[in-house]
A = this chain, B = another copy of it.
C-alpha cells in the first residue's frame, strides 16, 4: 500500500484513502461538535423557564447553522481538491495537519460568536476563517509546485481554484476591518459569501467542462 518513491513521495490508492479518511474524521467531528455549543436548560427548570431559555439561545442556533455551512463548504472544497491529488509527501501531510488544526478550531470560534457580545468574537471568527482559507491555498499551491496533482490539471485550473479558495479569505479579512465600524455590519457582510460561492461554482464548473 502506497509505494515509496525517490524523494519521499508516496502514491497509491490506500495511502491517499487513509489521508482523506483521517481528514474526513476531523471534519465530521468538528462539524458535529458544533451542536454542543447550544446549551440545554437544567433539568430542574420549569417548562416556562426552560422554553424562555432555549428561545433566548437563538443566536447559538444561528451560529450553528452558519458554522455548519462554513465547515461543510471547507469539506466540499477539500474533497474537490483531493480529487486532483495523486500523491503526497511528508510536507504535504504536515500542511494538511495544520489545515485541520484550523478546521478543529472553528467550533471554539463559533461558540465565542454565540456567547460573547461585541467586536472581539467577530474578529476571532473571521480571523480563524481567513487563516483556514490561506492554509488551504498554500496546501493547493504546494501540491501543484511539487507535482502531486494528476496530469489533467493545468496552470489555468490551478489559478482558478486558488482564486476560489482565497475569495472567502478576502471576505472574512474585509469583515475584520468592517467590525471596527460595526460588529453587526461585519456579520452581515458574510452574506457576500453566498455570491462568492456561486461565483466559484461557475468558475469550477467551466473548468471541469473544459477538462
Contacts and interface: CB of A to CB of B under 8 A. Distances in A.
A166 interface: no
Contacts of A19: 79
A46 B4 CA distance: 51
A38 interface: yes
Contact of A72 (B18, B21, B101, B201): B101
A158 interface: no
Given A83-B2, A112-B40, A47 B10 contact: no
A117 interface: yes
Contact of A94 (B6, B25, B35, B76): B76
A151 to B, nearest CB: 12
Contacts of A82: 1, 18
B22 A28 contact: yes
A45 interface: yes
Contacts of A201: 8, 90
B35 A32 contact: no
Q: Copy number in this complex? A: 4
Contacts of A73: 97
Contact of A32 (B14, B38, B39, B104): B104
Nearest to A39: B43
Interface in A12-31: 13-22, 24-31
B208 A83 contact: no
Prevailing SS type, chain A contact patch: helix
A35 B108 contact: yes
A168 interface: no
A155 interface: no
B108 A40 contact: yes
Nearest to A69: B97
A173 B73 CA distance: 30
B38 A108 contact: yes
B31 A33 contact: no
10 contacts: A4-B208, A4-B211, A14-B17, A25-B27, A28-B28, A47-B120, A69-B97, A69-B101, A72-B98, A76-B97
